[in-house]
Amino acid sequence: MAGNSKRRGAIRKDGTKKGMVVGSGGQSRRALRGKGPTPPGDMRPGHPKQKAAARRAAQQEQQRRRPVAGRRGDGEGPETVLGRNPVVECLRARVPATALHIATGMPADERVTEAVALAAEAGISILEVPRGDLDRITGGALHQGIALQVPPYSYAHPDELLERAADSGRPALAVALDGVTDPRNLGAVVRSVSAFGGHGVVVPQRRAAGMTAVAWRTSAGTAARLPVARATNLTRTLREYASAGLMVAGLAADGDVSLDEFELATGPLVLVTGSEGKGLSRLVRETCDVTVSIPLAGEVESLNASVATGVVLAEVARRRRAAH
């Protein structure tokens, strides 16, 4: 160090000097920097809101991954029932549900209180969520601060109805719906089939009502005990039933025989009900072994699809009782 009596400070590899720095010292690159605005509670690790959000996300993921009982057959997407009265009615009917969403801070009236009690009794998750989140979940529809998540229905395979009939030791009895699009009609048919000893209901995969929350509610809970099968091709399924020994009888206003003369009622049978407007489709009608009409008074031209099905099922049940 000859020629220079002052020792310069040691230099780090990154070009900065060692030693303590008091304040910023005018060194702008090493000046103290703020952390910016405080993030919301649900984004701060360890914050109660963040923990609650994590729990909700875990519950929703668990519900999404939860397997649905059933064999073959495909269901629709999940459904959200909105509004206090519809939610309470679904819970009373024991519609399968995965979560009950309640808006934060919503005043609890009798319906909300009942909904929470029924959900708790059924083991359904009860989630309190901000109203904005509920708006997002419901797609901005009117929800009155409450929504019920219903998973996709697990349809049976048409073959399962034959297996169920064989296990029962009674002649097979099923109902197939051809083009019935009102879920309330489907629910009512499910209820009638259960009431009169049937083994299940078959619906087409396309252009037909499915087992929505409305259909389940209309069935008055019988959908939990009676299988509803979905057929990719209804005509083909009816032919397969015929090959298995079932007679295929279609309901039609201009039927081949009157219900009073319906002698096939005591044997293995599948009844086919068409839509109210169009009746049976051409291919389905051609598949039927017989078509049956219901005697009506002159003032009445036709019956609702579910009512007509119930009338015929009642007569079938009566004839089977008489045969034994």
- What pLDDT score was predicted for residue 106? 82
- Cα–Cα distance, 55 to 132 (Å, whole number): 18
Residue 84, H or E segment: helix 84-92
Question: Across the beta sheet with 99-103, what order do the strands follow?
Answer: 79-82, 146-150, 99-103, 125-129
Contact between 126 and 91 (Cβ < 8 Å): no
Contact between 235 and 140 (Cβ < 8 Å): no
Percent of the chain with pLDDT over 70: 77
Residue 15's alpha-carbon distances to 9, 10, 11, 12, 18, in angstroms, are 11, 10, 6, 5, 10
> For the residues 295-315, what does the mean pLDDT come to?
88
Rg, Å, the chain Cα set: 32
- Cα–Cα distance, 265 to 261 (Å, whole number): 10
Q: Of 66-70, 72-76, 211-215, 294-298, which gets the smallest average pLDDT?
A: 66-70
Task: State phi, psi for 316 to the nearest 5 degrees.
Answer: -60, -45
Contact between 68 and 151 (Cβ < 8 Å): yes
Q: Taking 60 as the threshold, does the pLDDT of residue 130 lie above it?
A: yes
Q: Taking 80 as the threshold, does the pLDDT of residue 160 lie above it?
A: yes
- Cα–Cα distance, 109 to 36 (Å, whole number): 43
Helix (H, G, I), strand (E, B) or coil at 156: strand
pLDDT band at 49 (very low <50, low <70, confident <90, very high): low
- Cα–Cα distance, 174 to 161 (Å, whole number): 7
Q: Provide the token pair at 311.
A: 């009338």
What is the torsion angle, in degrees rounded to the nearest 10, for the CA atoms of residue 229, residue 232, residue 238 and residue 239?
-140
Angle 175-178-183 from CA coordinates, rounded to 5°: 80
- What pLDDT score was predicted for residue 74? 40
Nearest Cα to 217, choosing from 196, 197, 188?
A: 188
Q: Of 1-15, 111-125, 176-190, 284-298, which gets the smallest average pLDDT?
A: 1-15
Residues in Cβ contact with 18 at an 8 Å cutoff, skipping those fewer than 6 apart: 9, 10, 11, 12
DSSP letter, residue 13: T
pLDDT band at 66 (very low <50, low <70, confident <90, very high): very low
Q: Of 29-43, 98-112, 228-242, which gets the smallest average pLDDT?
A: 29-43
Q: Taking 70 as the threshold, does the pLDDT of residue 236 lie above it?
A: yes
What is the torsion angle, in degrees rounded to the nearest 10, for the CA atoms of residue 152, residue 82, residue 121 and residue 67?
20
- What pLDDT score was predicted for residue 167? 93
pLDDT band at 298 (very low <50, low <70, confident <90, very high): confident
**What pLDDT digit, counting tens, does each position of 18-36 carry?**
555 555 454 545 544 555 5
Residue 179 backbone class (left: φ over 0; alpha: ψ -120 to 50; beta: rest): left
Residues in Cβ contact with 324 at an 8 Å cutoff, skipping those fewer than 6 apart: none
List beta partners, residue 275: 279
- Cα–Cα distance, 168 to 173 (Å, whole number): 11
- What pLDDT score was predicted for residue 277? 78
Angle 273-274-277 from CA coordinates, rounded to 5°: 140
Nearest Cα to 144, choosing from 129, 127, 131, 125?
A: 131
- Cα–Cα distance, 145 to 83 (Å, whole number): 7
pTM: 0.69
Helix and strand numbers, DSSP H then E, in the chain: 10, 11
